[in-house]
Structure 1
Amino acid sequence: MSNEQAPFATIQEARRWASLFLQKSSREVRVVDLLLEHTLELSFSQLLAYEHDPFPEQKQAWFIKAVEKHVYTGVPVQHLMGEAPFYGRDFTVNRHVLIPRPETEELILGTLQKMKLESPVIVDLGTGSGIIAITLKLECPSSQLLATDLSAEAIEVAKQNADTLNADIEFFQGDFLEPIKQQPVDVIISNPPYIAFSEKLSDTVENFDPSLALFAEEEGLAAYRTILDQIVRYKLSPSLIAFEIGHEQGEVVKSLIERKLLGYDVQIEKDINKKDRMIFAKLAD
């Protein structure tokens, strides 16, 4: 596609064209910068610094097609790019795994701050693309990381990400703790499916994120109950349990933990948007 055929000539004009197109279509305008950064292999600050430079002609067709496909179908731009940023690293993503959310970075940060052991055995339940397990291993190299997921396709994506980022992790297919029930663990961390089937989601999420990773029975609480029941059944005593939760689930998940497990101090913590988003249960000394 030549400059004459494209609705823009410079990087700035491309940004303006795509932003207006997305705005008129009630799509999130911020995805424009993600697509531009990916297409042009530039950081956000470089985008602004070079905004008057010509938009490379050989990259125009892909960029226009990607913007149009997102507008008309709702397909996440991360699927179009094949990757998503998380905790300063790029992870491969596709239709088999959830797209990483910024709130999960806060779950990891809180876990790193609360872990007491120098070389803990950590298990990531429902690992998906592996973002939690891989990030924890790279941020705490002395730890031993285990990761489980019910989806064989998700585990393949996670293994690919672990290989790319040189993270030594043991992966297991199965229902949360079930495949590693004989393994003592120090830290359990999970961003499980916690959305009720009755909840309405955007087409970008509902049509493209795997439902197995999104929805749970019992108004979104089934996964937490399963994990807690497994902890009791397998006689595990992790020093720290870290859950990501729906913003209205804090009190009920806290109550579940206190009812099923003895000796834990349970705290609800808010995300950057001041919404309940994390629960940390620490085994009392």
Structure 2
Amino acid sequence: MEPVWTTIEEARRWASLFLTKHDREPRVADLLLEHVLGLSFAQLLAAEREEFPEEHRAKFVEDLYAHAETGVPVQHLIGQAHFYGREFLVHPHVLIPRPETEELVVGVLDFLKEKGMTNPVVADVGTGSGIIAITLACEHPSSRIVATDLSDKALAAAAENARLYEAEIDFYQGNFLEPLQGKHLDCIVSNPPYIARSEAAIMDDTVLNFDPELALFAEEEGLAAYREMVEQIKTFQLFPRLIAFEIGHLQGEAVKQILSRQLPEYRVAIKKDINQKDRMIFAVKDS
């Protein structure tokens, strides 16, 4: 049955209840409303008693039904995702940014500030949509940022986002650190694929069915990407002052062991996210 409402407030209430009944996050209703009406959340609240624009009704209902029925992420429906105070273009060929990754970026920025590194060379390995590289470029503009990805479609998205924020980044296509052989790197940061394929059965459909498999899954119970990157760091003799990885919340000790065994000159620490789950690894080389 076609939903009936008159005001924005009524549309918002109906959509939230509809999503809840379909076991979806009701906050999606607000995100879709903000996008289709061109309003911020504060503006949306202020306009609740206004009449809902009839020309936007069909699109709003269509997208809401699509999310409820298929799990298609709201970020794909609106074509953008929020990260570190900015909006980034996203599509099905790149991983949708997660809030936890912001904490990885904060850790890198804190390190650069603490060490007084004014013009470091920072590599974002497996850049995807470019959120880490672009955020670092914007927040620490004296840095030189390089970024790699195996996917040409991901690199195209990252380059488009870089143009959007006028971020100067050198992009390279290739497997992790292979394109950066022979280059001097002060920091390496990466949010690689780290989900074990055995976990697919318990994953949310909004992730499993829509995020690119290349950005999600890794062999060896999710540890293959870390092993390969650490081996490349050693083989290519890159040895940056900082290696910063995002990890799965059960992978802390395993990734720490990979780094400690292959790169014994590094001090390796596991850091927790805001939810007190192991989420980051920082490996520091003092000399």
Which amino acid in 2 is paired with 1:70? Answer: H
Which of 35, 38, 41 lines up with 2:35 in the alignment? Answer: 38
Is this contact kept in 2: 1:129–1:154, CA < 8 A?
Answer: yes
- 2:151 matched residue in structure 1: 151
1:269 aligned to 2:266? no
Specify the alignment match of 1:164 in structure 2. Answer: 164
Structure 2 counterpart of 1:85, from 79, 82, 85: 82
Q: Does 1:222 align with 2:224?
A: yes
> What SS does the corresponding residue of 2:249 show, helix, strand or coil?
coil
Residues paired across the two proteins, number: 281
Distance 2:283 2:102 in 1: 18
Task: Specify which of 231, 234, 249 is matched with residue 233 of structure 2.
Answer: 231
Output the CA distance in 1 between the equivalents of 2:39 and 2:232.
46
**Matches of residues 1-285 of structure 1 in structure 2 within 5 Å?**
6-115=3-112, 116=115, 117-199=117-199, 200=201, 201-285=203-287
User: For the residues of structure 1 that align with 2:129 and 2:224, how far apart are their CA atoms?
Assistant: 21
TM-score (norm 1): 0.96
What is the CA–CA distance in structure 1 between the aligned matches of 2:104 and 2:176, rounded to whole Å?
18
CA deviations on 1:75-106 (whole Å, 9 max, x unpaired) are 11110101111111111101100000000111
Moved more, 188-197 or 37-46: 37-46
Q: Is the 8 A contact 2:182 2:238 kept in 1?
A: no
3-state secondary structure, aligned to 1:208: coil
Letter of the 1:93 counterpart: V
Give the deviation of 1:6 after TM superposition.
4.5
Gaps of 5+ in 2: none
3-state DSSP of counterpart to 1:198? helix
Task: Assess if the C-alpha contact under 8 Å between 1:79 and 1:95 holds in 2.
Answer: yes
- Partner deviation per Cα, 1:100-137 (whole Å, 9 max, x = no partner): 00001111011100122111100000000000000000
How far apart, CA to CA, are the structure 2 residues paired with 1:235 and 1:8?
64
What CA distance in whole angstroms lies between the structure 1 residues aligned with 2:138 and 2:285?
Answer: 25
- The alignment yields a C-alpha RMSD, in angstroms, of 1.0
Q: TM-score, normalised by structure 2?
A: 0.96
Amino acid at match of 1:60: R
Question: Contact 1:242–1:280 (CA<8 Å) still a contact in 2?
Answer: yes
Matched letter for residue 13 of structure 2: R
Deviations 1:150-195 (A, max 9, x none): 1011001101111111100000000010011111100000000000
CA distance in structure 2 between the partners assigned to 1:109 and 1:225 by the alignment: 24
Greater mean deviation of Cα atoms: 185-194 or 234-243: 234-243
Cα displacement (A) at 1:204: 0.9
Asked if the contact 1:195–1:216 (Cα under 8 Å) also holds between the matched residues in 2, the reply is: yes
Contact kept in structure 2, 1:6 and 1:60, CA below 8 Å: no
Could you tell me which amino acid in structure 1 is paired with residue 270 of structure 2? I
Structure 2 counterpart of 1:138, one-letter code:
C
Q: Which runs of 5+ in 1 are unaligned?
A: none
Counterpart Cα distance in 2 of 1:12 and 1:271: 35
Q: Which runs of 4+ in 1 moved over 2 A?
A: none
What SS is found at the alignment partner of 1:160?
A: helix
Q: How many percent identity over aligned positions?
A: 60
